[in-house]
Structure formats: structure tokens, C-alpha cells
Amino acid sequence: MEVININRNQFEEMVHSGKTVLVEFSAPWCVYCRRLAPSLESVAEEYKDTLVFTAVNIDDEPELAETEAIEVVPTLLIYHSGQTLGSIVAPESRAQLVAFIEETLQHRTQEVNNAQHIYDMIVVGGGPGGYTAALYAARAGMDTVVLEKLSAGGQMALTEQIDNYPGFEDGIDGFSLGEKMKRGTERFGVETKLTEVLSLELSGSVKKAVTSEGAMYAKSIVLATGAGPRELGVDGEQALIGKGVHYCAACDGMFYRNKTVVIAGGGNTAAADALILSRICKKVIVVHRSGTLKATKIYHEPLMKTENVEFLWDSKIIALLHNEKLTGIQIRNVKTGEESTLACDGVFVSVGRKPSTELMKDQIEIDPAGYIIADESTRTNIPGVFAVGDVRTKALRQVVTAVADGATAVHYAEEYLAGEM
């Protein structure tokens, strides 16, 4: 089948025609474009019943190339109903071109299949709040799916020991608890899809979640996206992640066996991290802005009795010293203004959390700290959308309060779906 050369007007007509269209952006001076042409024509014949194959000369249509962000030729894009389904730059073989087409069409098929099914509830996030909502929803007869980008448990899965969740007399690690919560929902038919949510459309009676596996739809959505670690906000922090800067002692502490590390923070997470690291590291230095720990009292005595834990009170980190890796920190006393340097092998940042609200911040009411505004009913300003766990405004962010949110959200979701709201 021949590849059709098109101009801008024909391009607009083609990509909005409802057909699936492959467009090659090329140029007559491009040697690789000429090399690709025989394979492209061959593949066009093979897929003539599935795709319309077209080509745009970027020399003739420079504005179109700029609009479509074409920086290298040949660039091939596949469109459907005005949406870009996939792209590839300079495929190196016919096999690679075919693989690109097959993968893109498979995602399109998955999206069509998903579009034919509307769930009663989509839960975005597989932490304790999300899985409790899924459990209660499924037991209430609601068709429910959980979308989780990595694994069950969310941030809870990174916690080495949880002693304040009822029912586990010896405590339990967060990963195991997350897996138990997931398996509990599976008994009642909940499916967990390990996929990343790319965007959300929350208005209207049918909500949409666009994922890396395609679009999914539901009558209600529970936002259980949680909160991630807050950064120090000093120069070079991003570049040093994994090279001396870390945010999870349970994950990365073993890299610092018999070394000196700094904990930045004084809350519960910082205190727990200090205890974890004290069993691994030669020395642990806690740098805290205040003159006493903000952590609950249960942490105070064990920390004070641990010989290799030291405290720098009324201090904050103002710079990270490094070559290729971290070599130390510069600190400032917040009361006197005095500055000093401290050699260390690693810094573990435990200065609080930041809510994961990027997906919905332009659609939903959010407070100045970035948390979704939702009271104890978990209802947001959008009907049929509920926020649970660490992502919403609340006084206490713990596993047990996230679980309570999940149950509450389903109570009000049932009312919403029954038309009682």
C-alpha cells in the first residue's frame, strides 16, 4: 500500500477522522528517511486494514512540525480521534517499526475495551486508605478496581515495623501489612491494576482515569494518592539523590554500615529512622530546628539511651558538601546564626511529607499546604470524588486514620451512587 503524502489541512482532517492514522514526519534531504521508505511501504501493505499510512514533508509544513514537536526526522506518530497514541524516532529496523505499531495498537484496543466498562468505583492508590475503600466497596456489591503504580501498601510498605495498628500483638512490617490488605480485597473480587495514572477527569457523572494501560471509567473515584517525602530544598539535592542523599532509612540504610550519617528532622519519621540507622551506622547525628524532638514520647527515651546517636539542636542544613558524592553538610544555628561544617557519609531527609496531588490540583480544592480539602466525610468539592488518607486535610496521618477514611468514603459513595446526595 502506498504511503500518502499530506499537507496540514489533510493532516487535520485525517487525525480527526476517527480512523487510526500513522504519520511519518520526514524530509527529502534526510538519508535515513530514504532508507526507511521501503520498510515503511512494506509495513503499510501489511497493516492496510488497520492503519492509514501518511507522510508530512517538514520543509513544506514547518509550522505543523513545530506544533507536533518534531525535532528529529524521521519521527513516526500514530493518532486516533485527534489524540497521539504513540511515537517512535528513527526506527532502526522493520522489526522495530512493527513492534512499535503492535504495541500502540494493543494499547488502543485496551483503551477501547476499558471504555466499554464503567466501574462503580476506581480507587487511585493502593495504600491502607485505598485498600480499605476497595474492601468496603466490594463487600457492598460495588464493581471496584484499584490503580497502583508499584505495589500494595504505598508509603506504609517502606516502614520496617508498625506497632500501632491494632490486631498485631508483635507488630508487623508495612510491606506485609499492605499485601494482607490487598489479598483481603481479592476475596471479594477487587482487581488491582499495577499501572501509573497519567491524568484524571473528575467532573461529570462518569469519571475518567487515563493510565499507562489506557483509559478507565467509573461513577465514583476515591483519591488515595498519599504523600511523599518533602525535600530539604538546598542546592544540589536532586543531583545527590542516591549519592549521599536519601529519604528512606529502611530502604537505603544498609549502604552506610559502620559509617556516619545525618538525620534531618525531629518528628516521628526522623526518630524512627534514627533508631533504624543506629543499629547499622557507626554514628547517627540528628539535626533539628527545634530544641526538642517533635516525635511522640515513645521515641524519646530509646533515642536518648542510644550511645551512637547525637543531637544538634536549633540547627538546619543550609548546604550539601560534595565532590561526586556527598562529603558533608553545612549547618546554621537558627538562634545564633553561627555556621559550621560537619563531615558525614550520608544524609537522610525526614522533614515531613508533601501530598501527591499533581494529578488533580487544577480540578479540586486544595489547601495552601497542597492537601485536598475534604472533611471527615472525605467528600471533596466534586460530587462523586472522595479523598482518603495522607492526601487530605486532617489532624493525624496514621495507618489507622487512613483505614477509617476508606470506610467512611464508601459510606458516602453508596449514598452518592444511590442518588441520595
The residues that are catalytic are: 248, 251-252
**DSSP H/E element including 249:** helix 249-252
Cβ(219)–Cβ(118) under 8 Å?
Answer: yes
Longest dimension (CA), the chain: 79
- Give the chain's length: 421
Nearest-angstrom CA–CA distance, 347 and 234:
12
* Angstrom distance (rounded) from CA 306 to CA 196: 41
In contact, 228 and 150? CB cutoff 8 Å: no
3-state secondary structure of 171: coil
Taking phi over 0 as left and psi of -120 to 50 as alpha, with beta for the rest, 262 belongs to beta
Residue 52 burial by Cβ neighbours in a 10 Å radius (0-12, 13-18, 19+):
buried
> In angstroms, what is the C-alpha Rg of the chain?
27
Distance of CA 145 to the CA centre of its chain: 17
Q: Report how far residue 292's alpha carbon sits from residue 300's, in angstroms, rounded to the nearest whole number.
A: 9
Question: How many Å apart are CA 421 and CA 406, to the nearest integer?
Answer: 19
Extract the C-alpha cell encoding 51.
492503519
Cell readout for 367 is 489547601
Contact 234, 416 (CB under 8 A): no
What is the DSSP code (8-state) at residue 230?
Answer: P
